[in-house]
Structure 1
Amino acid sequence: MTAAPPNLPVLPDDDSMLSRKFGREVANYFSGSPLNRVSFLRSDHDFLNKAFAYPSASFLLMNGLAPLGKDRSTLAYVGRDDVLPLIGPEPFKQTEAEQVRNFNSAIDKPVVLFLGLDEKNKGFTFKEFGGHPYFAVDVTPRGTYTEKAVGIAEAVQKKGVDFIAGGRHMNLSAPEAAIYAQARALFDWNARNPFCGGCGQRTMSVNAGTKRVCPPTDLAGVPEGGEPQARGACPTRAGISNLSFPRTDPTVIMAVVSADGTKILLGRQSRWPPSMFSTLAGFLEPGESIEEAVRREVWEESGVKVGRVVIHSSQPWPYPANLMIGAVGQATPDGETIDLGNDPELEKAKWFTFDEVREGLQNGTAGLDEPAPSTLKEGGIRLPPHTAIANRLIDAVINGFLSLSPKI
């Protein structure tokens, strides 16, 4: 059995009926945030104002989706005074209704996210809620605040920290990886949606960065003190609109086991490093269950027919906004023949014995943007790192997931 991998979220011990029957819940990289998001308070501007005013509140800066860090494994946070020149002393002063009424499409504003409360530190309290407030600010230079954003970035860099550019930032500690994933996904969504998907007009960020609205009026070009001008009609202003909230794209990723339970199906794409293989994956389509998506994707990409499917765990994947739904499927006895003729996505697919895969887990794991490990043996397979759910699915199969039996 492989050693327990480091740098993954660790859930509290749980002796519940479900854990005794199905085993401990699996928490994957990018999940397990130490922050309580208290999402129901994002629309409470009184709460946001007080959390923002808390003297030691922490702020994560991101520039072009690159987070501020001390190094590649540790995020760096700044204080409120560091961001005031860009966002002002009261970014949450107005209610959502007031923000909408004062909307001016000619003025660009950086997105300020409320990430949550670290309840282990009870310095800040609001009603019955307490903890250390965490925010994130997008300092990517844009529009009318370009000069101020550049100034903020240059000022914090002089303190010996810098924005960690490139890669998927999978060297961060597990708790900080979860915080980064939340901030990255929301900043990316806000940046991609400056215009309304319903009417094409400019939108604005509200609810501490977790909602965008299409205001009915606009103060752009209106003399000071004048009445805002009406904008065109928009379908998002009537009822609940999924265009107003961040999207999450569900993706299935699966370890497929042979009918006799002795081999695992892995595939590779031509752009991957030599000898690298991984589990198959694909997007869930509308009107499709997870189990159906697993069977469809495996057949389309490899020609293999899958019968029973069991959901294993999930992983937030903020590139840009996926939820990886991990599953284990088993091929039917007459459906193991590999045929890549349906979907040209894979360069190769192959059945590997458990021993071959176990060797890869022990000596051949590395990220796509990393060199091959020195322990990789000639002729061996290279597999994704333990921070990828593909690795966790493979490891689960190799180390007894299929042999677990109910304990109650």
Structure 2
Amino acid sequence: MPEQPANPQPVPDHDSMLSRKFGREVANYFSGSPLNRVGFLRGDNKFLTLALHHPSTQFLLCKDLQPLVSPTQKGKLHYLKYADVKPVIGENPYATTETEMIGMYNSNTYVPQMIFLGIDEKAKEGVEYENKKNIYRGAPYFAVDVTPKGGVKEACEELIKTVTDKGIEFSKGRVMDLTSAQAAIYAEARQLLDWNARNPFCAACGQPTLSVNAGFKRTCPPRDLARTASKTSTDENERPPCVTRKGISNLCFPRTDPTVIMAIVNHAGDKILLGRQSRWPPHWYSTLAGFAEPAESIEEAVRREVYEEAGVHVGRVVIHSTQPWPYPANLMIGAVGQSIPGDGEKIDLGNDPELDDARWFDFDEVREALKVGTSGLGEDAGPGYKEGGLRLPPTTAIANQLMTSVVNGFVSGGMEKL
């Protein structure tokens, strides 16, 4: 079984009242980014220009959403400098303000997607920028999509060849072997690059959109220099009306889908409900999960999903922790719930055919599996695993965190307090 990367450390605690009552905060894989996103500077082209050309700036390349990884440092991403990516991104994509950029929009001009990820304030060297009497210092990070396409296809292919000739490769499959900090940086890059790629057209009028706000928003410009003269307008470049250009809804924002994932404990407090899908390896189980629906609270989503998938009725629900999941754009909201005694604990798989099986497992069996039976779906279990025993998701999965908390006293209040 490959070594599982450690989860990020929780935020520092200062003997707070909340921690004394509820225990230390839980941090999950893909969270814990070392970058300050300074989102209020994404629309400042002067800052972005300075950040783009600074010697400390790091550029993460992604091809087909797969990141460039270090050939010598396990668990690390490989970053390039401005001179390396200049043939792809050009001299300065941020040379004009966003208003000017929208006014000069030309749908025939392909612009490679780039995302400003934030600044590393702990870096030894970095940009220094003053904004509204506040000074921000740190090494800037950008993500660049170098998937060969459009007008920069040849430049992307040449850059890819240059790095691969040096033995630097793009990761394959789901990237779950990075250190926690690197995984968080990649998660932000992947989700934003993927969202921009999936939304090239306006949902209201169907016309091409433009990426703005350093990759965090898209807009439907009122004019397009690629348009021919219109018979209905004195402005030959004016596009047909679009409702998104009126009021405050003139931008498209990245999509994040809330997903509930829950450890359900029986009323007696000594068993946990786990399920499995038919495509999973034998004996491999996990906590139940599903998408939250419109006009539904997280607590209601937990109760509905558990009832639909396993027929179990859930009473009290509490939020445990959350996990960004960039495949493609989920926020896993981890919860712990307790079933209603009696008939409420009877398992019935007849409502929703998603699960192949669901069972109540004793805490002791789950504790043993957490020690020797965890792995990714395509990986072997640990060396102490005995064939036929329970298998569970790895520590990088929030399901593992939920089960670990429950069998170690989260429900009974027996977990170690700070």
Tell me the distance in 2 between the aligned counterparts of 1:50 and 1:92: 10
Give how far 1:400 is off: 1.5
- Asked if the contact 2:43–2:213 (Cα under 8 Å) also holds between the matched residues in 1, the reply is yes
- Asked if the contact 1:312–1:327 (Cα under 8 Å) also holds between the matched residues in 2, the reply is yes
Query: Aligned pair count?
Result: 401
Other-structure match for 1:123: 126
Candidates 317, 339, 359, aligned match of 1:309: 317
Q: Report the 3-state secondary structure (helix = DSSP H, G, I; strand = E; otherwise coil) of the residue aligned with 1:37.
A: coil
Tell me the distance in 2 between the aligned counterparts of 1:239 and 1:96: 18
- Asked if the contact 1:265–1:350 (Cα under 8 Å) also holds between the matched residues in 2, the reply is yes
1:337-356 correspondence runs (5 A): 337-356=346-365
Tell me the distance in 2 between the aligned counterparts of 1:393 and 1:124: 40
Candidates 350, 354, 367, aligned match of 1:358: 367
- Asked if the contact 1:37–1:117 (Cα under 8 Å) also holds between the matched residues in 2, the reply is yes
Give how far 1:375 is off: 2.6
User: Is residue 2:63 matched to residue 1:60?
Assistant: no
Other-structure match for 2:184: 178
Give how far 1:221 is off: 5.5
Candidates 143, 150, 168, aligned match of 2:150: 143
User: Is residue 2:394 matched to residue 1:385?
Assistant: yes
- Asked if the contact 2:259–2:331 (Cα under 8 Å) also holds between the matched residues in 1, the reply is yes
Tell me the distance in 2 between the aligned counterparts of 1:103 and 1:373: 55
Other-structure match for 1:17: 17
Other-structure match for 1:41: 41
Q: Report the 3-state secondary structure (helix = DSSP H, G, I; strand = E; otherwise coil) of the residue aligned with 1:256.
A: strand
Other-structure match for 1:266: 274
AA matched with 2:273: L
Other-structure match for 1:195: 201
AA matched with 1:360: A
User: Is residue 2:281 matched to residue 1:282?
Assistant: no
- Asked if the contact 2:269–2:412 (Cα under 8 Å) also holds between the matched residues in 1, the reply is no
Tell me the distance in 1 between the aligned counterparts of 2:325 and 2:247: 30
Q: Report the 3-state secondary structure (helix = DSSP H, G, I; strand = E; otherwise coil) of the residue aligned with 1:84.
A: helix
Tell me the distance in 1 between the aligned counterparts of 2:414 and 2:280: 37
Q: What are the Cα deviations for residues 183-217 of structure 1, in whole angstroms up to 9, with x where unaligned? A: 00000000000111111000111111111111111
Candidates 136, 139, 164, aligned match of 1:157: 164
Q: What are the Cα deviations for residues 27-86 of structure 1, in whole angstroms up to 9, with x where unaligned? A: 100000000000010001111111111122100000000000015622100011000001
- Percent identity, please: 62
TM-score (norm 2): 0.92
Other-structure match for 1:132: 139
Give the ranges of 4+ consecutive aligned residues of structure 1 lying more than 3 Å apart after TM superposition.
405-408
Other-structure match for 2:232: none
AA matched with 1:352: F
Give the gaps of 5 or more residues in structure 2.
Answer: 230-234
Q: What are the Cα deviations for residues 150-197 of structure 1, in whole angstroms up to 9, with x where unaligned? A: 11111222232111121x211100000000000000000000001111
- Asked if the contact 1:359–1:380 (Cα under 8 Å) also holds between the matched residues in 2, the reply is no
Give how far 1:228 is off: 5.8
Q: Report the 3-state secondary structure (helix = DSSP H, G, I; strand = E; otherwise coil) of the residue aligned with 2:281.
A: coil
Other-structure match for 1:91: 93
User: Is residue 2:216 matched to residue 1:210?
Assistant: yes
AA matched with 1:129: Y
* RMSD, matched Cα: 1.9
Give how far 1:124 is off: 1.5
Q: Report the 3-state secondary structure (helix = DSSP H, G, I; strand = E; otherwise coil) of the residue aligned with 2:86.
A: helix
User: Is residue 2:408 matched to residue 1:399?
Assistant: yes
1:286-297 correspondence runs (5 A): 286-297=294-305
Tell me the distance in 2 between the aligned counterparts of 1:395 and 1:165: 29
